[in-house]
């Protein structure tokens, strides 16, 4: 991971089914990052907007998920550099993006991404 990318501890105890767990964890990661962005920007953007934009970046392959090394399970993301990396990441991200869209349609037909499924607790990890 790059120095300015973000890594999170995840507590998955009591999580729902496998598919919803993955979507929920990623959505919680993106939501948490969005909260930080909104805070840093003085509230000029909404958490929902930033979360949606992060999902769009993920779908386009501009970011990819990374699993942290160590004793505690962690999940983060990093930015993809060149177009080849972005194409590969977009292919890898496609299944999870589709699952997120399906979950959103199942709960709210007008939604594009899931809205913070209660599948995991996300807290920032000090570096």
Predicted TM-score of the model (pTM): 0.68
Q: Establish if 84 belongs to a structural domain.
A: yes
Domain count, the chain: 1
What is the tens place of the pLDDT at every residue in 60-88?
Answer: 999 999 887 777 777 888 999 899 999 99
Which range of residues forms the domain containing residue 104? 6-122
Residue 87 lies in a domain: yes
Position 24 in a domain: yes
What is the pLDDT at residue 48? 92
- pLDDT reading at 59 higher than 90: yes
127 lies in some domain = no
The answer to which of 86-95, 97-106, 108-117 has the lowest mean pLDDT is: 108-117
Cα–Cα distance measured from residue 65 to residue 7, given in angstroms and rounded to the nearest whole number: 10
Q: Give the DSSP letter of residue 69.
A: P
On whether residue 15 sits in a domain, the answer given is yes
Which pLDDT score is estimated for 20?
Answer: 62
pLDDT at 9 over 80: no
SS3 (DSSP) at 72 = coil
- CA-to-CA separations, 17 to 11, 28, 119, in angstroms, rounded: 15, 16, 9
């Amino acid at each position: 991971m790059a120095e300015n990318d973000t890594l999170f501890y995840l507590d998955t105890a009591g999580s729902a089914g496998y598919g919803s767990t993955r979507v929920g964890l990623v959505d919680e990661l993106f939501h948490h990052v969005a909260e930080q962005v909104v805070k840093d920007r003085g509230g000029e953007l909404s958490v929902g907007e930033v979360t949606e934009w992060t999902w769009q970046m993920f779908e386009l392959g501009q970011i990819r998920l990374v699993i942290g090394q160590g004793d505690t399970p962690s999940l983060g993301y990093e930015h993809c550099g060149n177009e080849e990396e972005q194409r590969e990441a977009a292919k890898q991200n496609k299944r999870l993006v589709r699952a997120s869209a399906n979950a959103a349609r199942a709960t709210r037909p007008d939604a594009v991404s899931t809205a913070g499924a209660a599948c995991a607790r996300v807290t920032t990890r000090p570096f």
